[in-house]
A and B are shown apart, each in its own frame.
Chain A
Amino acid sequence: MNKQQLIKLFTRFGIFVIIAIFIYDIYSHGSIEHPGKAGYKAECSECHGDNGEGIKTLVPPLHNAAFARAHLDSIPCWIKFGMNHPITVGDTLYDQPMYPNKMSDVQAANIINYLCSDFWQIDTQVNAQWVTNHWKNCQ
């Protein structure tokens, strides 16, 4: 193999690598992650599951959009202060205490918006002020 052939080979390889990086870049940044997803993973997914599947009949799943619609105003309180009473979701009674979470109003709003858009297909978008107002009225 002479010098010219070697240069040609390297050039071709270089072009291939650049194209590969370009394609990878499009794929990896193509979809922007929801800002509430990281918060959900950190604070909620351990019990409720990565996809909101819950745990058997111990921890309720978060898939029930009808339930979420009916209880949207309670959700900020549950997220922040936890829950210490049984709750019926669908036709199952769950009786597992939920622990309080330290989080800011912005984080809570992001998580609720993530749940609304990715889990419940609810168009409502909440903001930090909405969360703070609800926190004032938590029992």
Chain B
Amino acid sequence: MRRLIFLCGFISLVLNSCNNGKKLPFYGPKTVSQKIVDGKQEVDSVNYSIPGFTMTDQDSNTVNEGTVNDKIYVADFFFTSCPSICPKMMKEMGYVYDKYKGNGNIQILSFSIDPERDSVGRLKDYAKRLGNIDGTKWHLLTGNKDSIYELAKKYLVSATEDPDAPGGHIHDGNFILIDTKSRIRGYYDGTDDESVKKLMNDMDILLSEK
């Protein structure tokens, strides 16, 4: 029995040391809920989570919160005719895709903030240009424009239309890491190599989190 305890202790030590036992933070406003447990009032704080959505991907498939249910995913906002940071962001997201394309627990969602121009056909062409990416792993998404802009707000990132900006839209280059319960666990600069490496490191931490 003592041996077993030592063995378990040793194994957990080894497993822990892989990621230094690091835990990722939760982003967004917490909500407080009050419950009555055993006749006593208890206050519980609930972490912020991304609400449901319905979009269409490059293969005309419907993608909604069910698609990413119990999965870790990375989200970003782009548009195909974006002349500025998008190509670089897509290159960086390509590294994430290449690393995790064999992992059934990971998804990538790239929302177009120019959905009227970015039809399914256009997204399909873009997917080919990214190296014929697998549409069941990396979804390029279009849908109702207002819903997409609302959704960007829910991810706590900025996306706005601006006729004076290159391509007519302003957006930041954030990659957003979402856990299996739709909670925001990290923001990364999608145009920066080092930041995207950190994202992949954090994805490994999240994968080992139970």
| Residues of chain A having any CB pair with chain B under 8 Å | 46-47, 55-59, 82, 95-100
Chain B residues with CB under 8 Å of A57's CB are: 128-129, 131
Q: CA–CA, A20 to B82, complex, Å?
A: 49
Q: CA–CA, A55 to B129, complex, Å?
A: 9
CB of A99, distance to nearest CB on chain B (Å): 4
Mask for B29-65, Cβ within 8 A of A = 1, else 0?
0000000000000000000000000000000000000
Is chain B's binding surface mostly helix, strand, loop or mixed? Answer: helix
Q: CA–CA, A55 to B130, complex, Å?
A: 8
Q: CA–CA, A46 to B85, complex, Å?
A: 8
Mask for B73-111, Cβ within 8 A of A = 1, else 0?
000000001111101101100100000000000000000
List the B residue with the shortest CB-CB distance to A99.
B83
Any A CB within 8 A of the CB of B167 = yes
A-B Cβ contacts below 8 A, count: 43
Q: CA–CA, A136 to B85, complex, Å?
A: 28
Are B88 and A97 within 8 A (Cβ)?
no
Are A97 and B131 within 8 A (Cβ)?
no
Contact of B130 among A58, A82, A97, A98 (CB under 8 A): A58
Are B90 and A55 within 8 A (Cβ)?
yes
Are B191 and A46 within 8 A (Cβ)?
yes
CB of A47, distance to nearest CB on chain B (Å): 5
Are B83 and A98 within 8 A (Cβ)?
yes
Chain B residues with CB under 8 Å of A96's CB are: 81, 83, 87, 129
Do A97 and B167 form a contact, CB below 8 Å, given A46-B191, A47-B88? yes
List the A residue with the shortest CB-CB distance to B92.
A55
Contact of B166 among A55, A59, A99 (CB under 8 A): A99
Chain B residues with CB under 8 Å of A46's CB are: 85, 87-88, 191
Residue among A57, A98, A100 with most chain B CB within 10 A: A57
Do A55 and B91 form a contact, CB below 8 Å, given A46-B191, A97-B167, A99-B166? yes
CB of A21, distance to nearest CB on chain B (Å): 30
Chain A residues with CB under 8 Å of B128's CB are: 57
List the A residue with the shortest CB-CB distance to B191.
A46
Can you list 26 A-B contacts with CB-CB less than 8 angstroms, sorted by A residue number? A46-B87, A46-B88, A46-B191, A47-B87, A55-B87, A55-B90, A55-B91, A56-B94, A57-B129, A57-B131, A58-B87, A58-B90, A58-B129, A58-B130, A82-B83, A95-B125, A95-B129, A96-B81, A96-B83, A96-B87, A96-B129, A97-B81, A97-B83, A99-B83, A99-B167, A100-B166
